[in-house]
């Protein structure tokens, strides 16, 4: 038995002003064959899972390239084509194989390619032929296209948002692929188009119960896997929107029935799933009330739409500016993306007192730059934070404190959202001494921050992110979707 594994992934915000090129992949995560670390990453957990499986079952595992870029704007055409062809050439050199497993995101868009993953999978199918099993994992914030379904035997998506189950879902795909390659099962993919696009956090009801029910289908009556593709609001592509996916053991009728039933059940939840969003003013009033009531843990304010995990710059200053103007200054902020300011801080050195302009550089919508006198508390060439079992690079980093306040701000070079409190502790910030934390994340921060927070407030502060589909100018959408269309299924 010979199995080939590779990963090529990013999440493309087609409205973002931040382009994605090869340097974006090299800065975030690039591992040539044999160089993937022992720890999994979000879209490459299949590598570590397959290594363990190969040791147990003694099959031959051939590792191709694994590459990930932090979410951003359109991928440069040459960058996508070179990385794609790199993986295809690696596969071509080791043919024939019995199975191919791919770690994909599902929302990559390059110049000239609306469906990068479909293009890659179709080319893999052409190379290996019709009888080789191909499986793939996806992030649920993606676009599931007919081209991918046609060329894959097996697929699943992470069920949890925040994505705390990415290793478990990799284990599931690998297991199904290996059983199929041995002829023990015949997986069939069934898909239902929910014709909606919304934010679907599983950290709260009703989505908590929905995904629990979806997971309960697996392992019964021949259901091998159940997945929900949420869609990605910031992707202007023809296949935008949510889809329900059921993989059965050669029972397409059951798969189609369950996909439709669960897909329409999701549609019935439309408009009820989003986290409660507050304006900046409302959030500061609620946070202040918590502090006055004697909160013993920090209040977390999540800047949900200035989230680099959604492809925007992450250099917004609106919440910080409002807090400073209100005299709220016992705060730690993670992070504001500003490579120029980091360079200045590194040059000045730790302990330096300097005048610094930071944030607000990528464009209108996320606030003006902050001009302040600051102390450089920390200046390092490399820093990391955790996301579950994986490590996320921050690049060169500076921690500054605004003079005459207790407000500490982490400035980073590699754009990334905030996942874990160790982003603070790793840089010397003790969050137990802070009254307020500001994090740039829509919901991935939730699992790790909930135990350390007195209250979590989601703040709609405004940014480049297209958070309301009714107001977003989609130019490539080819079918009706709620909430753009009230009744896309023609139910009335």
For 438-454, what is each residue's pLDDT tens digit?
Answer: 999 999 999 999 999 99
Residues 6+ apart with CB under 8 A from 4: 62, 64, 90, 91, 94, 97, 99, 100, 101
Q: In the beta sheet, which residues pair with residue 138? A: 157
For residues 407-417, average pLDDT: 97
Domain membership flag for residue 273: no
* In contact, 439 and 301? CB cutoff 8 Å: yes
| Of 46 and 17, more confident | 46
* Confidence tier at 254 by pLDDT (50, 70, 90): very high
Total-model pTM? 0.95
Domain membership flag for residue 490: no
Q: DSSP letters along 3-41, please?
A: EEEEEEE-BB-TT-S--B-HHHHHHHEEE-TT---SS--
* Confidence tier at 324 by pLDDT (50, 70, 90): very high
Residues 6+ apart with CB under 8 A from 99: 1, 2, 3, 4, 132, 133, 134, 135, 177, 178, 180, 181
Residues 6+ apart with CB under 8 A from 49: 40, 167, 170, 171, 174
Give the domain-ending residue among 268, 293, 310.
Answer: 268
Burial code of 459-488, b = ≥16 C-beta within 10 A, e = fewer? Answer: bbbbbbbbbebeebebeebeeebbebeeeb
Let me know whether 39 and 131 are in one domain.
yes
d(CA 13, CA 235): 5
Let me know whether 259 and 318 are in one domain.
no
75, 61, 70, 247: which is closest to 156 by C-alpha?
A: 247
Domain membership flag for residue 419: yes
Domain membership flag for residue 486: no
d(CA 393, CA 383): 6
What are 305's two structure tokens? 């739409």
Let me know whether 193 and 216 are in one domain.
yes
Let me know whether 256 and 330 are in one domain.
no
Give the domain-ending residue among 248, 268, 288.
Answer: 268
Kindly report the average pLDDT of the chain as a whole number.
Answer: 97
Counted domains in the chain? 2
d(CA 400, CA 350): 9
Let me know whether 192 and 306 are in one domain.
no
Let me know whether 45 and 174 are in one domain.
yes
pLDDT of residue 492: 82
For residues 351-361, average pLDDT: 97
Residues 6+ apart with CB under 8 A from 173: 46, 101, 135, 136, 137, 154, 155, 156, 225
pLDDT of residue 213: 98
Let me know whether 110 and 74 are in one domain.
yes
Q: What percent of the chain shows pLDDT beyond 70?
A: 100
* Confidence tier at 107 by pLDDT (50, 70, 90): very high
Look up tokens 């080939």; give the residue.
4
Look up tokens 């990559």; give the residue.
108
Could you give the 3-state DSSP secondary structure of residue 259?
Answer: helix
Let me know whether 208 and 348 are in one domain.
no
Let me know whether 291 and 230 are in one domain.
no
What are 410's two structure tokens? 């982490």
pLDDT of residue 366: 83
Domain span at residue 355 reads 280-459
Let me know whether 343 and 448 are in one domain.
yes
Domain membership flag for residue 480: no
Give the domain-ending residue among 268, 303, 327.
Answer: 268
pLDDT of residue 65: 98
Q: What percent of the chain shows pLDDT beyond 90?
A: 97
d(CA 305, CA 307): 5
Let me know whether 127 and 224 are in one domain.
yes
As to burial, measured by CB atoms within 10 angstroms (0-12 exposed, 13-18 middle, 19+ buried), residue 56 is exposed
Let me know whether 114 and 17 are in one domain.
yes
pLDDT of residue 280: 97
Which DSSP category does 277 fall into?
E
Whether the per-residue pLDDT at 363 is higher than 90: the answer is no
Domain membership flag for residue 64: yes
Domain membership flag for residue 80: yes
Side-chain-side CA neighbours of 120 within 13 Å: the count stands at 33
* Confidence tier at 52 by pLDDT (50, 70, 90): very high
Domain membership flag for residue 481: no
């Amino acid at each position: 038995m010979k199995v080939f594994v590779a990963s090529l992934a990013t999440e493309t915000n087609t409205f973002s002003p931040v382009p994605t090129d090869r340097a974006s992949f090299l800065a975030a995560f690039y591992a040539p064959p044999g160089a993937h670390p022992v720890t999994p990453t979000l879209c490459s957990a299949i590598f570590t899972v397959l290594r363990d499986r190969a040791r147990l079952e003694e099959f031959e595992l051939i590792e191709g390239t694994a590459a990930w870029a932090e979410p951003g704007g359109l991928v440069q055409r040459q960058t996508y084509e070179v990385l794609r062809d790199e993986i295809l050439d690696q596969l071509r050199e080791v043919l024939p194989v019995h199975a191919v497993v791919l770690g994909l995101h599902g929302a990559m868009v390059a110049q000239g390619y609306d469906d990068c993953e479909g293009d890659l999978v179709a080319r893999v199918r052409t190379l290996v032929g019709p009888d080789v099993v191909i499986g793939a994992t996806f992030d649920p914030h993606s676009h599931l296209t007919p081209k991918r379904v046609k060329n894959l035997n097996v697929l699943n998506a992470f069920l949890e948002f925040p994505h705390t189950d990415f290793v478990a879902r990799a284990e599931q795909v690998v297991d199904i692929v290996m059983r199929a390659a041995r002829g023990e099962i015949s997986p069939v993919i069934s898909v239902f188009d929910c014709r909606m696009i919304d934010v679907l956090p599983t950290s709260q009801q009703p989505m908590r119960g929905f995904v629990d029910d979806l997971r309960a289908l697996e392992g019964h009556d021949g259901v091998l896997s159940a997945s929900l593709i949420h869609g990605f609001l910031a992707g202007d592509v023809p296949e935008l929107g949510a889809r329900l996916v059921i993989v059965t053991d050669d029972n397409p009728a059951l798969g189609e029935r369950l996909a439709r039933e669960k897909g329409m059940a999701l549609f019935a939840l439309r408009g009820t799933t989003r986290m409660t969003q507050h304006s900046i003013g409302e959030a500061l009033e609620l946070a202040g009330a918590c502090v006055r009531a004697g909160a013993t843990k920090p209040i977390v304010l999540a800047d949900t739409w200035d989230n680099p995990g959604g492809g925007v710059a992450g250099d917004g200053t609106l919440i910080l500016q409002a807090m400073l103007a209100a005299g709220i200054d016992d705060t730690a902020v993670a992070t504001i993306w500003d490579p120029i300011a980091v360079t200045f801080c590194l040059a000045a050195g730790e302990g330096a007192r300097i005048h610094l302009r930071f944030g607000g550089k990528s464009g209108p919508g996320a606030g003006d730059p902050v001009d302040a006198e600051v102390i450089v508390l920390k200046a390092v060439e490399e820093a990391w934070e955790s996301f579950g079992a994986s490590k996320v690079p921050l690049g060169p980093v500076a921690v500054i404190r605004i003079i005459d306040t207790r407000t500490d701000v982490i400035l980073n070079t590699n754009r990334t959202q905030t996942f874990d409190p160790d982003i603070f502790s790793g840089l010397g910030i003790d969050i137990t001494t802070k009254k307020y934390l500001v994090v740039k994340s829509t919901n991935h921060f939730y699992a790790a921050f909930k135990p350390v927070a007195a209250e979590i407030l989601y703040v709609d502060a405004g940014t480049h992110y297209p958070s309301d589909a009714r107001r977003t100018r989609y130019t490539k959408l080819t079918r009706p979707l709620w909430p753009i269309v009230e009744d896309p299924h023609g139910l009335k």
